[in-house]
Structure 1
Amino acid sequence: MREDSIRLGQFLKLADLIDNGAEVKPLMIQGEVAVNGEVETRRGRQLAKGDVVTLGGEAVRVS
């Protein structure tokens, strides 16, 4: 990550947790996306270095 922050939807794609942006909203509605252990429903949430995103049992740290 080159910037100070990245949007959650973009990060999910970059981390290969989803194939395309259209997948994000249904997953969030179902409560399957968490940031730092808390369910997140905002696709545009800004993530910072060190945040941990979890989806489907996989956890990825923003670096």
Structure 2
Amino acid sequence: MIKFKLDKEFIHLIQLLKAVNLVQTGGEAQAVVMEGLVKVNGEVEYRKRYKVRVGDKINFDGQAIEVS
């Protein structure tokens, strides 16, 4: 599990995927979100600008991210 410490109110989903190095580029992050490959709190999330907040759990490519 990847632990991500949020230092502001939220981070956009595509920015988070890049910040934890699960994707290399913003374009790649947008593509995997739009293809429905990312889950937020157990639900498929298609919004690339989804605001990830403390307590959210993101799953992608066999990896889990916990936001604190």
TM-score (norm 2): 0.84
Q: Percent identity?
A: 37
Matched residue, 1:58: 63
Note the 1:1-63 alignment, pairs <5 A.
1-63=6-68
Q: CA RMSD in A?
A: 1.0
TM-score (norm 1): 0.89
Runs of 5+ unmatched residues, structure 2: 1-5
Following TM superposition, by how much is the alpha carbon of 1:33 offset from its aligned partner in structure 2, in angstroms?
0.5
CA contact (8 A) 2:34 2:48 kept: no
The one of the two structures with greater contact order (alpha-carbon pairs below 8 A, sep at least 6) is 2
